[in-house]
Amino acid sequence: MSQEHTSVIQRIDQACDQWPEHVCFIADGHETSYREVQERSIQIANQLLAAGFERGMRGAIFSPNDPRAFIAALGVIRAGGIWLPINPRNSITDNCALLERFGCDFLIYHSAFAGHLDAIKASSPKRLGVVCLDRGDADDPGLDAWLDGVSTVDPAVPVEPTDIVTTPMTGGTTGLPKAVAISNRNLVAIMGWLEEAGGDYVPVNLAAAPMTHVGGRIVLTVMVRGGTSVILPEINPHAILEAIQQYGITDVFLPPTAIYTLLDQPDVRDYDFSTLRRVSYGSAPMSIDKLKQALDTFGPVMSGGFGQTEAPMSISWLRQEDHFIDGKLAPDERLRSVGRATPVSTLGIMDDDGKLLEPGETGEIVVKGPFVSEGYFEDPEATAEVRRDGWHLTGDIGYLDEDGFLYIVDRKKDMIITGGFNVYSTEVERVVSSIPGVKNNVVIGVPDEKWGEAVKAVVELDDGASVTPEQIMDLCKDQLGSVKAPKTVDFVDELPKNPNGKTLKKDVRNRYWEDAGRRI
């Protein structure tokens, strides 16, 4: 069977049949083999089907990082269903709203969220059933009892490459979050290229980032190589450092802010990082100074990239070796790149008229390939807005250099137009972040009678740091010119972040536009 006609479950079963006794998961010292993963997910699928679950129905998993939750998600997919990943770091109000909006036919939850069960049930009254992953009581016998004696013969539900298997949520930078329709063919394409790019070793992956997002997709790619994923319930710096050393971790993905936290640990260099082969970073821009520090601390194992929920993980890849040129650390300009196209992606830069631009010209980053999602779930109008002539419009502004390296300049919606000039906020943020004592910052446009929008920096400082607005404005003028330099600087105790630690620029911006009668 050709790869494009292989489903996610068929790829997983290939791995389980090839390495039945390999350890697939380690969590809290407990090991789960590939055989156990396969049999357990088959039992879950069979029991779902027996409860009336049908192909295309939605199964929600509400749990912190836990192998049982991931196996349950595989069970939903094996039954022909759609896995609804509920982010445990979201507020219960937000999660209930999402379930009400997109529906939920069956809920499998962790006891840590038992207190929210009544609210969740009320959000989707049509549900077929509810089962607790890790405990049982008189009202809910729990997963173990629910599966007792259930057949381990695969139900072999027929599926198609374009069948939707999961619907992760976008970050909701404007309006309500959207559900992205990820199909068999999308995930199989990602699994295939990362399997080939993985190297000649069996990976030991550390899954600390939420498995409802990139972390879960990485686990799938580890499974097709017969590797082991060590599961941590959350991103905890010392737990991560201890796990790397204890389990001989080879691969780990972390957002930049989590890598910064590791580097800030006073004893970080006391740990043994000799087994690391790839430390992947993404989901947000990474400070060049911190990237250099990471390379010095962890070794030549840093691996960057660019993806988004609508086009997961595979838009571009800055390989470990791309951080170096002729054996020496690459210049800062190269380190700012998010890499070149992957084997499953075709990149382009497009202007507002739909014309593809030449290398060095700045426009919207567009991409095509089998990993690009089928669109927004049950929202053809929103899907049409991000598709043009076969290309997916990322909403990011950037350019390609002559060697095919991609550079992100800004989010299209974050571009500031001041006095008729375009100012890319991330360019200014990069300069501000280089100032000692600056912990985090966002640069936004604020209402201005003369300029339409004026550039403002909103800055969070390290504890005890002393930085003045004049220092920030003068450095930006010196490095970027007066047009791009902030006209004003505000200091805040803490910038707002989403549950995954990403700074919410939209919320910062809205504070300044509300008085002007405009929210974004």
Please write the tens of the pLDDT for every residue from 200-223. Answer: 899 999 999 888 888 889 999 999
What residue segments make up the domains of the chain, in order of their start? Answer: 30-182, 235-411, 415-516
The pLDDT value given to residue 172: 45
**3-class DSSP string for 96-143:** HHHHHHHCCCEEEECHHHHHHHHHHHHHCCCCCEEEECCCCCCCCCCH
Whether residue 70 is predicted with pLDDT greater than 90 in this model: the reply is: yes
| CA–CA distance, 231 with 278 (Å, rounded to integer) | 17
The more confidently predicted of residues 414 and 408 is: 408
Lowest mean pLDDT across 33-42, 218-227, 500-509: 500-509
Residues 6+ apart with CB under 8 A from 337: 304, 318, 322, 401, 405, 406, 407
Whether residue 226 is predicted with pLDDT greater than 70 in this model: the reply is: yes
**Side-chain half-sphere CA neighbours of 161 within 13 A:** 12
Residues 6+ apart with CB under 8 A from 253: 209, 214, 215, 218, 280, 281, 282
Computed over every residue of the chain, the mean pLDDT equals: 91
The pLDDT value given to residue 483: 85
Q: Which of 256, 328, 348, 326 is nearest to 294 (CA)?
A: 256
CATH number of 415-516: 3.30.300.30
The pLDDT value given to residue 171: 57
CATH topology of domain 30-182: Rossmann fold (3.40.50)
The pLDDT value given to residue 2: 41
> Is the Cβ–Cβ distance between 255 and 89 less than 8 Å?
no
The pLDDT value given to residue 5: 54
Joined together, the tokens standing for residue 186 give 């999308």
DSSP state letter for 461: E
Confidence of residue 415 (pLDDT cuts 50, 70, 90): confident
- How many CB atoms are located within 10 Å of the residue 497 CB? 13
Lowest mean pLDDT across 16-20, 156-160, 193-197: 193-197
Residues 6+ apart with CB under 8 A from 189: 3, 4, 314, 344, 369, 370, 371
> Is the Cβ–Cβ distance between 189 and 196 less than 8 Å?
no
The more confidently predicted of residues 338 and 421 is: 338
Stretch 469-488: mean pLDDT, rounded?
93
Whether residue 6 is predicted with pLDDT greater than 90 in this model: the reply is: no
**Side-chain half-sphere CA neighbours of 499 within 13 A:** 19
Written as one letter, the residue type at 378 is E
The pLDDT value given to residue 174: 40
Q: Which of 379, 452, 450 is nearest to 422 (CA)?
A: 452
The pLDDT value given to residue 497: 85
The pLDDT value given to residue 93: 82
Whether residue 280 is predicted with pLDDT greater than 60 in this model: the reply is: yes
- How many CB atoms are located within 10 Å of the residue 356 CB? 13
The pLDDT value given to residue 502: 79
The pLDDT value given to residue 516: 54
| CA–CA distance, 348 with 421 (Å, rounded to integer) | 24
Whether residue 517 is predicted with pLDDT greater than 60 in this model: the reply is: no
Stretch 4-12: mean pLDDT, rounded?
85
Task: Give the orientation angle of helix 8-18 with respect to helix 34-50, to 10 degrees.
Answer: 140
> Is the Cβ–Cβ distance between 190 and 221 less than 8 Å?
yes
Same fold, 30-182 and 235-411: yes
Lowest mean pLDDT across 51-55, 210-214, 246-250: 210-214
Supply the pTM of this predicted model.
Answer: 0.84
Phi–psi pair at 211, nearest 5 degrees: -75, -5
Determine the 3-state secondary structure of 81 from DSSP: coil
Q: Render pLDDT for 82-114 as a digit per residue (tens, 0 to 9).
A: 999 888 877 788 788 888 888 889 999 999 998
Confidence of residue 128 (pLDDT cuts 50, 70, 90): confident
The pLDDT value given to residue 451: 77
Buried b vs exposed e over 318-345: b needs ≥16 C-beta within 10 Å? bebebbeeeeeebeeebbbbbbbbbebb
DSSP state letter for 444: E
What is the percentage of the chain residues whose pLDDT exceeds 70? 96
Lowest mean pLDDT across 116-125, 250-259, 346-355: 116-125
Give the CATH H-level superfamily of domain 235-411: ANL, N-terminal domain (3.40.50.12780)
